[in-house]
Amino acid sequence: MFDKYNRKINYMRISVTDRCNLRCEYCMPVVGVPKKSHNEILRLEEIENIALEGIKLGIDKIRLTGGEPLVRKGIMGLIGNIANAKGLKDFALTTNGLLLKKHAKELKDKGLKRVNVSIDSLNDKTYEKITKGGNLKKVLEGIEEAKKAGLAPLKLNVVLIKGTNDHEIGDFIKLTRNEEIEVRFIELMPIGEASGWSNDYHITNNVVKELFEELVPIDVENKSIPTKRYKIPNYKGTIGLINPLSECFCDGCNRIRITADGKIKPCLHSDFEINIRKLSKEGFSMAEILEKSINKKPEKHNITSEEFVPIKRGMHQVGG
Ligand code: SAM
Ligand code: SF4
Domain that holds residue 259: 11-318
Number of domains in the chain: 1
Q: Give Cβ neighbours of residue 104 (< 8 Å, ≥ 6 apart).
A: 115, 142, 145, 146, 148, 149, 151
User: Residue 20: inside a domain, yes or no?
Assistant: yes
Most ligand 1 atoms within 8 A of CB, residue of 63, 94, 185, 203 to mutate: 94
Which ligand is nearest the CA of 188, by number? 1
Work out the mean pLDDT of the chain and round it to a whole number: 94
Q: Is 212 helix (H, G, I), strand (E, B) or coil?
A: coil
pLDDT of residue 224: 63
pLDDT of residue 251: 86
User: Residue 1: inside a domain, yes or no?
Assistant: no
Confidence band, pLDDT 50/70/90 cuts, at residue 74 = very high
Cβ–Cβ under 8 Å, residues 20 and 241? no
Mean per-residue pLDDT, 124-129: 98
pLDDT tens for 104-118 read 999 999 999 999 999
User: How far is ligand 1, taken at its centre, from the CA of residue 73, in Å?
Assistant: 20
Lowest mean pLDDT across 94-98, 208-212, 285-289, 304-308? 304-308
pLDDT of residue 111: 98
User: Residue 3: inside a domain, yes or no?
Assistant: no
Mean per-residue pLDDT, 162-167: 97
User: Residue 246: inside a domain, yes or no?
Assistant: yes
Which ligand is nearest the CA of 189, by number? 1
pLDDT of residue 229: 95
User: How far is ligand 1, taken at its centre, from the CA of residue 191, in Å?
Assistant: 10
Name the burial class of residue 239, with classes exposed (0-12), middle (13-18) and buried (19+) by CB atoms within 10 angstroms of its CB.
buried
Q: Which residues line ligand 1 (CB under 6 A)?
A: 20, 26-27, 65-68, 94-96, 118, 157, 159, 186, 188-189, 191-192, 194, 315-316, 319-320
Lowest mean pLDDT across 42-51, 68-77, 120-129, 240-249? 240-249
Confidence band, pLDDT 50/70/90 cuts, at residue 14 = very high
User: Residue 18: inside a domain, yes or no?
Assistant: yes
User: How far is ligand 2, taken at its centre, from the CA of residue 25, in Å?
Assistant: 9
Q: Find the CATH number of the domain harbouring 79.
A: 3.20.20.70
CA dihedral 195, 187, 269, 10 (to 10 degrees): -150
| Closest C-alpha to ligand 1, atom 12 | 320
Mean per-residue pLDDT, 258-282: 95
| Closest C-alpha to ligand 1, atom 18 | 320
pLDDT tens for 199-236 read 999 999 999 999 999 999 997 666 667 899 999 999 99
pLDDT of residue 30: 85
Angle between helical axes of 124-131 and 136-149 (0-180°, round to 10): 100
